[in-house]
Structure 1
């Protein structure tokens, strides 16, 4: 072959090692970019307050998770004992259990909890009437209304009401706090003989003795955008408050309802 023609004969790509290296590294760079999950997907991983209870959409832990990982009005905090706390009517309610499948949760007023009474000699601090944000939470079926009477003289109470004393009053340890169901026969009698605050609350029906019912709390159900379609396709649910719409955070990008199976 003519030596001159050899100079201009096309060479295969592997003949140029520098070009081959550039192509190889460009491929690795592009592959890493395409495989990196969307940052919102990583940010909205489930967390826990410490008691092994999973906190995920529609709830989010204030200060530890981004608000877009949950639904508006579902921000919670973590108590030192590891339990999640929901603030209702400026009162802390311990979230004892979350039932994600049927969109409900069990809560109990923190002042009635066993951990609280163990540090206050069984005395109960004043609390407030429960008022629920109607667009977020509502009372679940089979819950009963309860009235708490503060400043009661336990010695003046008839024997049948002794079992309804749930503790002493934190404001005056010599007085008691009495819990009665709204439809109880002795409500008017207790109302006349107790000189402190009167607070409305809730308990779950059929729990047992009133002391146990107050500590166990009651069930709430919630209303929020459904997460099942997004989670079933591998996504993390969230909410964009700027457009007030549900978002599904997937490994590739943000989707409206579910991740693209492709």
Structure 2
């Protein structure tokens, strides 16, 4: 009777939780740091990175980057914000169906939009988004 014993040795710390800074959320399964942790440390599409300011960055489809402010592993939610403070400008380029996440956004941000030049009397009827002002609009 013969036995074959295969010993696989690996670094047990390759999936250890990490942070981008001491104040940032912990990155752990199902997320992984895209460059510091192997792929088996997280689900596909749950890759996070650290930027030059040591913020956690989530790259959504079509290169829409958002900063992760909070990760709640119990409720399975993440709170993100646009570092450029103009998420409505990026939403038309974002195909939510290709993302691993479900989004809870303000209904006005994800609905169809139109831009008009309104008179002063009309301004109270509409939501003003300063970052969407173009050189030719007022």
Residue 39 of structure 1: aligned partner:
10
Q: Whole-Å Cα distance in 1 between the matches of residues 114 and 83 of structure 2?
A: 17
Please identify which structure carries the higher strand content: 1
- Cα pair 2:34 2:49 within 8 Å, conserved: yes
Please identify which structure carries the higher helix content: 1
Q: Whole-Å Cα distance in 2 between the matches of residues 136 and 42 of structure 1?
A: 26
| CA offset digits 1:90-125 (Å, max 9, x no partner) | 211221110001211112233327xxxxxxxxxx88
Residue 130 of structure 2: aligned partner:
167
| Distance change in 2, residues 1:157/1:70 (3 Å) | farther
Question: In the alignment, does 2:122 pair up with 1:158?
Answer: yes
Q: Whole-Å Cα distance in 1 between the matches of residues 107 and 25 of structure 2?
A: 28
Residue 73 of structure 1: aligned partner:
45
Question: TM-score under structure 2 normalisation?
Answer: 0.69
| CA offset digits 1:167-222 (Å, max 9, x no partner) | 1436x24536xxxxxxxxxxxxxxxxxxxxxxxxxxxxxxxxxxxxxxxxxxxxxx
Q: Whole-Å Cα distance in 2 between the matches of residues 111 and 128 of structure 1?
A: 13
Residue 105 of structure 1: aligned partner:
78
**Which one of 104, 108, 117 corresponds to residue 146 of structure 1?**
108
Indicate the structure (1 or 2) with the bigger Cα radius of gyration.
1
- Cα pair 1:89 1:128 within 8 Å, conserved: no
Question: TM-score under structure 1 normalisation?
Answer: 0.40
> Number of paired residues?
125
Residue 119 of structure 1: aligned partner:
none
Give SS of 1:158's match.
Answer: helix
RMSD: 3.1
- Cα pair 1:49 1:83 within 8 Å, conserved: yes
Q: Whole-Å Cα distance in 2 between the matches of residues 157 and 168 of structure 1?
A: 21
| Distance change in 2, residues 1:85/1:157 (3 Å) | farther
Q: Whole-Å Cα distance in 2 between the matches of residues 158 and 135 of structure 1?
A: 37
Give SS of 1:65's match.
Answer: coil
Moved over 4 A (4+): 148-152, 154-157
- Cα pair 1:53 1:97 within 8 Å, conserved: yes
Structure 1 residue runs of 5 or longer lacking an equivalent are 1-37, 114-123, 177-262
